[in-house]
Structure 1
Amino acid sequence: MDITTGIIGAVIGLVIGFVIAKFMEKGKASKTTANAKREAEAILKAAKTDGENIKKDKIFQAKEKFLELKAEHEKVIIGKDKKMAEAEKRTRDKESQISSELAKNKNQNQQLENKIKDVEKKAEFYEKKQSELEKLHKSQIQQLEVISGLSADEAKGQLMESLKETAKSDAMAYLQTTMEEAKLTAQQEARKIIINTIQRIGTEEAVENCVSVFNLESDDVKGRIIGREGRNIRALESATGVEIIVDDTPDAIILSCFDSVRREIARLSLHKLVTDGRIHPARIEEIVRKTEKQIETEIVDIGKRTIIDLGIHGLHPELIKAVGRMKYRSSYGQNLLQHSREVAKLCGVMAAEMGLNAKVAKRAGLLHDIGKVPNTEAEVETPHAILGMQWAEKYGEKPDVCNAIGAHHDEIEMKTLISPIVQVCDAISGARPGARRQVMDSYIQRLKDLEEVAFNFPGVQKAYAIQAGRELRVIVESEKVSDDKAAELSFEISQKIQTDMTYPGQVKVTVIRETRAVNVAK
């Protein structure tokens, strides 16, 4: 019983404690809630205050922005108003100017009408005077016919017959004088132009041959170039088409070939092989192929540099290659590219002196010998002037240039003034001392043959080949050859030379006939 009572009391105590604790927690919660409300109210009040401040700031900023935009807009409006005012002013000025011009035109039209009326009155007056003069003229003719007993047509015929012979003789004398003066002036001007052209062109002497010397560091390299049983040298000769001569010349071997391009390919290939040290047939063929491509590139570069130096534009790529190949060609010992450049400069200067197109003349001068660099052996039989003209036509050159190329050795008829200029400049470049090299024996023999051709004609007393074989002077006996016969003899000798002989350029034939009267005073 006591235990039960104690348990009940303990339970009651626990319940009472629990109830008291709950009441105490409820009081604390009330206080917390009140504090939270107060804090929330304070936060709301502060947020409201901040919001009002931000609102005021934004309104202030919006007002400032509005004022700025308004000021800018006013500036734009003022600028536009100013421009409109200026435009209106210009318009008013134009209107006033047009009004003054219209008034001026009106006055001028009025003056023109007055002048037209004056001219019409004067024309009527002149017509009346003309009719009066015609009547007087007819009456005078009638009076003269009565006095002379001849009609007007008969008197006119007699007067014309009397004046015809006098006029004819005067006209012939005047014509002869004019022709002589024209010839003299033309010769002087031609000499002046040619001399000025030659003086203004700087030249260089050029000599080409068929042999190149390849220098070696030592004679030991010769054995490696020859190879076992000569296989290396045979492979090199087969790949390049160049004859390689290995003799007792110390530290050198000789490359022989008429084609300068092939000779240069062989020289460069040998240089690469010797520098690399690996010399065998497969390597030789590889190096030769690479060198051929290098030479082709170099040929194009040389052609481009040449046309740039001369100021020539729009040349076809194939013609540029042909110009580049000229560097490795020679004609009578004269480098073909140097010769063509020289001819181009001479043509440009001479054409400028004569008032012709210097650019076209330069173009024709540069291309005049492209027929000497054929790409195939089948074209060798065609004269180089005709072949060059065909190439120029094929690659779109103008007719003036094509005619100058084809006619510079008289293969075809000259149709423009550029053609004789190219022919003359080609002769000047080739005839310059030191420009071309010939074998002495063949040169002397050609001069002898020229003189022998002249001696085969009757009446020839002496014959001299001068100007390096470009002129033949023939002295004839005056008793056997007349003046007319001398002109005929000059033509016959030139035709004989043209038919029977082979020579570069042209040969001028001059026949000299003179009569001498000699007496001795004792």
Structure 2
Amino acid sequence: MEINIVVLAIGMLMLGLGAVTGYYARQSIARKQLTTAEGKASSIIEQAKQRYKEETLNAKNKAVEILEEAKKKENEREDQIRKMEQRLEKREEMVDGKMEELDKGRLVLEKKVLEIKTIKNEAESIRQKELDRLEKIAGLNKEQAKKVLLQLTEDEYKDVLLDRIKKMEHESVDELKKKAQNIIVQVIQKYAGAHTAEMTTSTVAIPSDEIKGKIIGREGRNIKTLEKITGAEIIVDDTPEVIVISSFDPVRREIAKIALLKLIEDGRIHPTRIEEAVVYAKGEIDNKIREAGEAATYDLGIAGLDPKLIYLIGRLRYRTSFGQNVLIHSMEVAHLSGALANELGADVAVAKKAGLLHDIGKSVDHEIQGTHVKIGIKILEKFNVDQAVIDAMKSHHEEYPFGTAESFIVAAADAISASRPGARKDTLERYLKRLEELEDIVNSFEAVNKSYAIQAGREVRVFVDSDKVDDYGAAKIAKDIATKIEEELKYPGEIKVNVLRETRSIEYAR
């Protein structure tokens, strides 16, 4: 028991001793670690202070360098500014000197201008005095003296002038005529389209005369209904197996014809059926108009036109001018324009398109106020047609000046198509009136004895008094007559003025 207590006491003593030893050991280790951390911290702080000093020194050095560079640049700029100021001062001095010189020169010029005006006034005064003196001596004023001098010069040199005029006219006209004739002949040979003059009546063949009674109807109600709806006159007379439709409007006439053929085919003819037949005929006409426009553009090789514009082209199929179908005429002008443009080196596409569209205004000119040329220009502008085409088509009646080569070509092609034999018909009264107007214009000249319009008004032969008019005077009268015809008379193509001065010597043998 005592041994256990001793052992226990020794164990407790050893335990306490170990605890004290561990405590002091831990204190010693902690003290060493603390000493080591403080040394490191002190070292780091010293290094940071050293680096701070170095960085501060570097920064100061850089700042000094920057300040020195800035001062250097500032000095350079000050030098530049100083030099620029010196230059400006020199320029100002030069400008001031030049301004002074200009002021002096202006004063000198003003002085000279005054002197020149004074001299001019004096010269004009002397000239006027001399003119007055000459007028008193000659007994003529300035205008009278001018006329006398011109007359004397004309009398002296009229033979020379006449020879030169004739020579120039013969040489240039003959050469140009040959070239123009060759080109036109070649073009017409390339296109020789057939043409039939349009009439104002159409005939409808019927299987028998019995059908005429059905067409007339009880108390004429059927024929009256058909005439009222179509606007055309239906002529039923004694002509066997034929009914005549008369109307100045080809569209109305064609509608009446199609409707009548439909009624004859159906056999049922009464007002209700007539209305249905007319509606059907109008639809057929629309289709034919569209097909005619498409066929015309396809035949000419023209693409890119608006469908509505093509429809208006098709309407020309049922439009006539002086008995000539306008669509056929327009196609003919397009062919001729293209051929002429090709021969002359102009734009073939523009000329051909302008030739086709030159009378497009006639498709609606009975619905809209204005000439067909002005209406046509508005239509083409609405459908965004090329301005070159509009410029080429608008001059064919000389309402607008010729601006391009294609405009001359289209006008020439239009004249060729319209004036060739058989192309157009004209009334006898209008024809005779035009010839009378032509002869009246020619006979208004005092030197003219008599005149005759020949070749359907394409030429006028003028006879003058040989005692009053010499060769030079005859050439002058021909020019004056041609000018007056151009100013006062409207005519297709051209009119040749042929002045004849006849000299007769008569003697009798007895």
**TM range, smaller chain:** 0.5 to 0.7
Quickly say closer, same or farther: Cα 1:445–1:350, change in 2 above 3 A.
same
Shift of 1:490: 4.6
Quickly say closer, same or farther: Cα 1:480–1:265, change in 2 above 3 A.
same
Quickly say closer, same or farther: Cα 1:181–1:470, change in 2 above 3 A.
closer
Q: Deviations over 1:74-107 (max 9, x none)?
A: xxxxxxxxxxxxxxxxxxxxxxxxxxxxxxxxxx
Shift of 1:185: 4.2
Specify the SS of the correspondent of 2:394. helix
Q: CA RMSD in A?
A: 3.0
Q: Deviations over 1:237-266 (max 9, x none)?
A: 121111112222222221111011110010
Specify the SS of the correspondent of 1:378. coil
1:368 aligned onto 2:355 = no
TM-score normalized by structure 2? 0.62
Quickly say closer, same or farther: Cα 1:212–1:468, change in 2 above 3 A.
same
Aligned to 1:64: none
Map residues 327-346 of structure 1 onto 2, 5 A cutoff.
327-346=317-336
Quickly say closer, same or farther: Cα 1:178–1:445, change in 2 above 3 A.
closer
1:294 aligned onto 2:281 = no
Quickly say closer, same or farther: Cα 1:329–1:188, change in 2 above 3 A.
same
Letter in 2 for 1:508: I
Moved more, 370-379 or 200-209: 370-379
1:429 aligned onto 2:417 = yes
Aligned to 2:294: 304
Matched-pair contact (CA < 8 Å) for 1:472–1:507: no
Matched-pair contact (CA < 8 Å) for 1:487–1:511: no
Among residues 469, 473, 496, which one is paired with 2:457 in the alignment? 469
Among residues 247, 253, 262, which one is paired with 1:257 in the alignment? 247
Identity %: 44
Letter in 1 for 2:207: E
Quickly say closer, same or farther: Cα 1:384–1:472, change in 2 above 3 A.
farther
Shift of 1:222: 1.3
CA distance in 1, matches of 2:173, 2:478: 21
Map residues 358-507 of structure 1 onto 2, 5 A cutoff.
358-374=348-364, 377-379=367-369, 382-481=370-469, 489-490=477-478, 493-494=481-482, 497=485, 504-507=491-494
Shift of 1:446: 2.7
Among residues 271, 279, 283, which one is paired with 2:273 in the alignment? 283
Aligned to 2:497: 510
Unaligned runs of 5+ in 2: 1-165
Quickly say closer, same or farther: Cα 1:504–1:206, change in 2 above 3 A.
farther
1:226 aligned onto 2:216 = yes
Matched-pair contact (CA < 8 Å) for 1:486–1:511: no
Matched-pair contact (CA < 8 Å) for 2:474–2:501: no
CA distance in 2, matches of 1:398, 1:479: 58
Shift of 1:221: 1.0
Specify the SS of the correspondent of 1:505. coil
Among residues 207, 216, 219, which one is paired with 2:197 in the alignment? 207
Specify the SS of the correspondent of 2:368. helix
CA distance in 1, matches of 2:238, 2:454: 44
Quickly say closer, same or farther: Cα 1:230–1:349, change in 2 above 3 A.
same
CA distance in 2, matches of 1:500, 1:314: 41
Shift of 1:407: 0.8
CA distance in 1, matches of 2:450, 2:410: 34
Letter in 1 for 2:413: C
Moved more, 328-337 or 266-275: 328-337
CA distance in 2, matches of 1:410, 1:363: 19
Quickly say closer, same or farther: Cα 1:506–1:191, change in 2 above 3 A.
closer
Quickly say closer, same or farther: Cα 1:401–1:478, change in 2 above 3 A.
farther
CA distance in 2, matches of 1:485, 1:400: 44
Map residues 118-267 of structure 1 onto 2, 5 A cutoff.
185-267=175-257
Matched-pair contact (CA < 8 Å) for 1:360–1:401: yes
Aligned to 2:94: none
CA distance in 2, matches of 1:394, 1:467: 42
Q: Deviations over 1:37-74 (max 9, x none)?
A: xxxxxxxxxxxxxxxxxxxxxxxxxxxxxxxxxxxxxx
1:323 aligned onto 2:310 = no
Aligned to 1:271: 261
Specify the SS of the correspondent of 2:229. helix
Letter in 1 for 2:460: L
Aligned to 2:338: 348
Unaligned runs of 5+ in 1: 1-175
TM-score normalized by structure 1? 0.60
CA distance in 2, matches of 1:494, 1:394: 39
Matched-pair contact (CA < 8 Å) for 1:265–1:291: yes
Moved more, 404-413 or 184-193: 184-193
Letter in 2 for 1:278: R
Shift of 1:472: 2.8
Letter in 2 for 1:512: V
Aligned residue pairs total 345
Matched-pair contact (CA < 8 Å) for 2:365–2:375: no
Shift of 1:474: 2.8
Letter in 1 for 2:225: A
